Amino acid sequence: MPAARRRSLLDRIRGALLAGAVGDALGAPVEFLSLDEIRTRFGPEGVRELAPAYGRAGAITDDTQMTLFTAEGLVLAARAGALGRTDEVARIVHRAYLRWLRTQGGTSAHPTFERTDEGWLLDVADLHSLRAPGATCLAALRSAHCGRVEQPPNSSKGCGAVMRMAPVGLAAAVADPFRTGCALAALTHGHPSGWLAAGFLAAVVRELVAGSSLEDAARETLTELRRWPGSEECAAAVDRALAMARAGPGTPEAVESLGEGWVAEEALAISLYCAIAAPDLESALLLAVNHGGDSDSTGAIAGNLLGTIHGERAIPRRWLDALELREEIERMAEELHATCGGRG
Could you say which DSSP state residue 114 is in? G
Interhelix angle for 214-225 vs 264-277, to 10°? Answer: 150
- Answer whether 294's CB lies under 8 Å from 265's CB: no
The DSSP bridge partners found for residue 158 are: 263
How many Å apart are CA 309 and CA 183, to the nearest integer?
25
Residues of the chain with pLDDT under 70: 1-7, 342-344
How many Å apart are CA 197 and CA 237, to the nearest integer?
10
The DSSP bridge partners found for residue 263 are: 158
Q: Is 2 left (phi over 0), alpha (psi -120 to 50) or beta?
A: beta
- Answer whether 58's CB lies under 8 Å from 25's CB: yes
Supply the Cα-derived Rg of the chain in whole angstroms. Answer: 18
pTM score, whole prediction: 0.97
Short-list 277, 145, 148, 141, CA closest to 214: 277
The DSSP bridge partners found for residue 52 are: 57
Does residue 250 sit in helix, strand or coil? coil
Short-list 5, 9, 2, 4, CA closest to 333: 9
How many Å apart are CA 272 and CA 221, to the nearest integer?
13
How many Å apart are CA 299 and CA 264, to the nearest integer?
13
Q: Is 226 left (phi over 0), alpha (psi -120 to 50) or beta?
A: alpha
- Answer whether 258's CB lies under 8 Å from 240's CB: yes
Could you say which DSSP state residue 53 is in? E
Which residues lie below 8 Å from residue 245, measured CB to CB, with a gap of 6+? 215, 272, 273, 276, 277
**Distances in Å between the alpha carbon of 3 and those of 22, 184, 342?**
28, 32, 14
Which residues lie below 8 Å from residue 160, measured CB to CB, with a gap of 6+? 62, 66, 134, 136, 137, 188, 189, 297
Query: Would you state the pLDDT for residue 82?
Result: 95
Can you spell out the DSSP letters for 131-197?
S---HHHHHHHHSSS---SSS-S-S--BGGGTTT-HHHHH-TT-S-HHHHHHHHHTTT--SHHHHHH
Could you say which DSSP state residue 57 is in? E
Which residues lie below 8 Å from residue 36, measured CB to CB, with a gap of 6+? 292
Task: Residue 162: count other Cβ atoms within 10 Å of its Cβ.
Answer: 35
Q: Which CATH class is domain 3-340?
A: mainly alpha
Among positive and negative, which fits the CA dihedral 194, 199, 205, 207? negative
How many Å apart are CA 96 and CA 149, to the nearest integer?
19
pLDDT by residue (tens digit) across 44-94? 999 999 999 999 999 999 999 999 999 999 999 999 999 999 999 999 999
Query: Would you state the pLDDT for residue 248?
Result: 82
